[in-house]
Amino acid sequence: MELTVVGHIYRDLRVTKKGVKETIGGAPAYALSGPTLEANGTSIVSCIGADFPESTLSRLTQSGVDTSGLYQMGPKSTTLITTIDEEGKKTRSLQSLAPKITKEFISPHHLESTIIYFSPVYREIDKSCFTAAASTEAILALDLKGILYEEENNEIQIASCKDLDFYLGYINVLLLDEIELSLITEKVTEQDSVDEVLRRGPFIVILLKGEVGSSIYTHHGKEDIPYVIPSRFRDDAGFVQMYMMGFLLEFLRTGGNISSSGHFGAVCASASMESFGPGSLISRYQVERRLRTLY
């Protein structure tokens, strides 16, 4: 197995003036593009509830991704309500949360993966999963946002995490944005802040900067990756997850080439914004063709 993605698949109820539309989200849902990105085996570890749509569940189990780590437990799936006002501003609240993912969800064949990517929605991945993964030789990656989320006044907001050093101590690749970086360090400059994070554990820090692009830091320097403008905008829900999965897969393909991996990840993220959610699979051919037109 090359890629295992851990986190909740969630129901996303989007409320606009036109009504309510339900979609699904979460990194394991976007991992459906693993096979088309030519990952040598893709698996997911997740938990959903009895209320999860049967048609969506069937699509997941028939996708070619290993879903042996997808457990249906309890009455409720993790469900977020995303309210979008007339100006496009989004607010999110947590309606329900599926059971936590513990090390018992993770089978030996998951631990044999080359990459284990943790992408929590709302602190649902138990610490035991990180300690189990740390006993392997896998590249361990984390999208920080779901560790920092908390609910306040019925809205999901970013906050500090008292257990942050635990997670950073196990992770090789960390992905975060500028707001999250400002929350977890007290340094003034971006370089000093990232240097502090690198000292705490990760050997690669990917800093997303919106339409400015991204910067990828290691102990050996920094690589700036430009933002890839999507040809049309449909949905940005999978931007972070597709960037990370694209980066990680290309990092393996190229033997650790940071620049190539960053550009590949940025195009995966852009392609995700052009698509209609996780069911719109992104292929390696599609990404490489776009890269040739850009560079």
The per-residue pLDDT for 150 is: 83
Percent of the chain with pLDDT over 70: 100
The per-residue pLDDT for 252 is: 96
Please give the C-alpha separations between residue 245 and each of 20, 49, 85, 102, 267, in angstroms, as whole numbers.
30, 25, 31, 22, 11
The per-residue pLDDT for 16 is: 83
The rounded distance, in Å, linking the Cα atoms of 26 and 10 is 6
Half-sphere exposure of residue 197: CA atoms within 13 angstroms, side-chain side: 34
**Bridge-partner residues for 10, per DSSP?**
25
Helix (H) or strand (E) holding 143: strand 139-143
Amino acid letter, residue 78: T
Lowest mean pLDDT among 66-75, 146-155, 219-228, 282-291: 146-155
The per-residue pLDDT for 21 is: 86
Helix (H) or strand (E) holding 215: strand 214-218
Tell me the mean pLDDT in the region 102-123: 96
Give the distance from CA 38 to its chain's centroid.
18
In this predicted model, what pLDDT tens digit does every residue of 145-163 receive, in sequence order?
999 988 777 778 888 888 9
Helix (H) or strand (E) holding 66: strand 66-72
From the list 137, 108, 139, 113, the residue with the least C-alpha distance to 1 is 113
Per-domain residue ranges for the chain?
3-294
The rounded distance, in Å, linking the Cα atoms of 20 and 45 is 28
From the list 72, 56, 61, the residue with the least C-alpha distance to 23 is 56
Tell me the mean pLDDT in the region 105-132: 97
The per-residue pLDDT for 165 is: 95
The two beta strands, 221-225 and 66-72, are unpaired
Q: Count Cβ atoms below 10 Å from residue 58 Cβ, excluding itself.
A: 10
Which fold, 3-294?
Answer: UDP-N-acetylmuramoyl-L-alanine:D-glutamate ligase (3.40.1190)
The 3-state secondary structure of 217-253, one letter per residue: EECCEEEEECCCCCCCCCCCCCHHHHHHHHHHHHHHH
Residue 242's pLDDT band (boundaries 50, 70, 90)? very high
In this predicted model, what pLDDT tens digit does every residue of 66-79 receive, in sequence order?
999 999 999 999 99
Q: Which residues contact 97 (CB under 8 A, 6 or more apart)?
A: 8, 76, 78, 122, 124
In this predicted model, what pLDDT tens digit does every residue of 29-83 receive, in sequence order?
999 999 999 999 999 999 999 999 999 999 899 888 999 999 999 999 999 998 8
In this predicted model, what pLDDT tens digit does every residue of 6-30 receive, in sequence order?
999 999 998 888 888 888 999 999 9
Give the distance from CA 31 to its chain's centroid.
9
**Bridge-partner residues for 168, per DSSP?**
none
